[in-house]
Amino acid sequence: MTASPTTAAQPIEAIPGPPFLQVIKQAWQDPLDFLLNTALTYGDPARLRIRDENILVISHPDHLKHVLQDNYKNYVKGYEVTKPLLGEGLLTIEGHAWRKRRRLMQPMFHRRRIAAMADTMVAEIEKMLARWEPYAASGQPLDVAAEMMHMTRDVILATMFSSSISPEEAEAAGQAFQVALAHFDRYMFMPVQLPDFVPLPGSRRFRRAIETLDRIVYGLIRRRRQMPDPPDDLLTMLIQARDEETGQGLSDAQIRDEVMTIFLAGHETTANALAWTWYLLSLHPVQARRMWAELDQLLEGRTPTFQDVAELRYTTQIFQEAMRLYPPAWIFARTAVAQDEIGGYTVPAGTPILISPYVTHRRPDLWPNPLGLDPERFSPEQVKERPRFAYLPFSRGPRVCIGEGFAMAEGILALAAVGQRYRLDLLPTFPVKPQSAGTLRPKYGIKMTLHPRKERG
């Protein structure tokens, strides 16, 4: 199954790492800086001791490839903490059940299906642009991060669930998700595990948020089951699916978990990726001008379509570079099932492993001048020269994000449709700070003003 441990392998305790006090102080205060520092200071892999446990931080492409691809069956997710929200959905299930579910849902994400969804994506982006008109006219700033969240939420509802919930429910669901995510953030790097009965701040709000989401999603499923002529979307596909072996369909609870998973995974991440892209473009006018030139030349003012996505090479590179610097899924985890060996060290069964695209994407040995914005890093020539696992905003290997193609199409279409109309300027006094709230998001949002580009002359 694995690279079996050789006699040369050193014990896990020999892996260097920061002292315990530093871990509990800094990991809690600033997990992003802490993990990056840990990896850059202690190397490959690094070891954290938290709650009597050895936790590995891996960021070297060879180690990532080993865990996520070559020996992936030996590494499970164990995302217990997300279960109240996501249940047993595609993101959290394992083994045979995962393989079957992935096969079932994959057709929804084929290129052909994404092409068919592109016009719906653009329609939602244009609704956002219509909402923006008074702001552009008055010069009043708006929170671009919140706007991206609103838009990607409407896109996922329209494409995957044919917008079968009311705008009020969509708003309530969006807010409930924010409450639920804030709750996980508090848990993630908590140095001491508190027993469940200790009332954590926010846990009542968390429960209420889950109740709100359950009510909306079960209502959606009930209404859809009663439809004589249901629309051709993910929800109908889940309802009509039958197990190849048993002929059984999915229960309402299973469908609920999948709807919740796609709703969450399908909008929060793309919204943050776009918010960071607008932020970076406002700070880097040279790159922004190159993107506008590409948009103007290809589109000549017309609405972008799916066919344009592949042509918008520089715009794609900007989006990729923004996700290098600010990968929305900035951290994920695995746990070793059986003993294995990584980087010359023995990894006992049960060892948790942290994988952080944020860390890997900022390693100076992989990315010269890591903090510089350089979309050329994603030119075909430069991509060829880097190890594949040096860049993994969507993860890699068999459990790679199922929505990668969807998110790329949506992101590029949004950059194109908005970018050909407006220049977005960051408010000079606005504090932009990355916050690791489950996903990597701008803590205070991103306040920007809109400037119609055509008037620039």
- Residues near ligand HEM (CB under 6 A) are 77, 90-91, 102, 261-262, 265-266, 269-270, 273, 328-329, 332, 393-395, 399, 401-403, 406-407
> Contact 239/250 with Cβ under 8 angstroms?
yes
CB-wise, 110 or 289, nearer to ligand HEM? 110
Distance of CA 282 to the CA centre of its chain: 22
DSSP code, position 195: P
CB-wise, 91 or 416, nearer to ligand HEM? 91
CB-wise, 125 or 262, nearer to ligand HEM? 262
CB-wise, 161 or 292, nearer to ligand HEM? 161
**Least distance (Å) from ligand HEM to the CB of residue 269?**
3
Q: Side chain identity at 388, as an amino acid letter?
A: R
> Contact 57/219 with Cβ under 8 angstroms?
no
- Note the residue count of the chain: 457
**Least distance (Å) from ligand HEM to the CB of residue 453?**
25
Taking CB positions, which residue lies at the least distance from ligand HEM? 403
- Rounded to whole angstroms, the Cα distance separating 270 from 407 reads 6
**Least distance (Å) from ligand HEM to the CB of residue 335?**
12
- Rounded to whole angstroms, the Cα distance separating 39 from 24 reads 16
CB-wise, 258 or 308, nearer to ligand HEM? 258
CB-wise, 9 or 358, nearer to ligand HEM? 358
**Least distance (Å) from ligand HEM to the CB of residue 194?**
24
- Rounded to whole angstroms, the Cα distance separating 407 from 267 reads 9
- Rounded to whole angstroms, the Cα distance separating 109 from 25 reads 42
**CA-closest candidate to residue 115, choices 313, 404, 405:** 405
> Contact 24/191 with Cβ under 8 angstroms?
yes
How close are the terminal C-alpha atoms of the chain, in Å?
A: 63
CB-wise, 90 or 142, nearer to ligand HEM? 90
CB-wise, 46 or 323, nearer to ligand HEM? 323
Tokens of 158: 């329209």
CB-wise, 136 or 237, nearer to ligand HEM? 237
- Rounded to whole angstroms, the Cα distance separating 276 from 322 reads 6
**Least distance (Å) from ligand HEM to the CB of residue 412?**
11
**Least distance (Å) from ligand HEM to the CB of residue 95?**
12
**Least distance (Å) from ligand HEM to the CB of residue 403?**
2
- Rounded to whole angstroms, the Cα distance separating 74 from 61 reads 18
> Contact 377/58 with Cβ under 8 angstroms?
no
**Least distance (Å) from ligand HEM to the CB of residue 229?**
24
DSSP code, position 5: P
**Least distance (Å) from ligand HEM to the CB of residue 130?**
23
- Rounded to whole angstroms, the Cα distance separating 259 from 220 reads 10
> Contact 90/258 with Cβ under 8 angstroms?
yes
Helix axis angle, 252-265 relative to 167-188, nearest 10°?
Answer: 80
DSSP code, position 304: P
Cis peptide before 228 (omega within 30 of 0): no
Which residues partner with 1 through β-bridges? none
CB-wise, 9 or 401, nearer to ligand HEM? 401
Which residues partner with 335 through β-bridges? 76, 352
Strands (E), 340-418: 340-342, 345-347, 352-355
Rg (CA), the chain: 22
**Least distance (Å) from ligand HEM to the CB of residue 155?**
9
**Least distance (Å) from ligand HEM to the CB of residue 156?**
6
CB-wise, 276 or 292, nearer to ligand HEM? 276
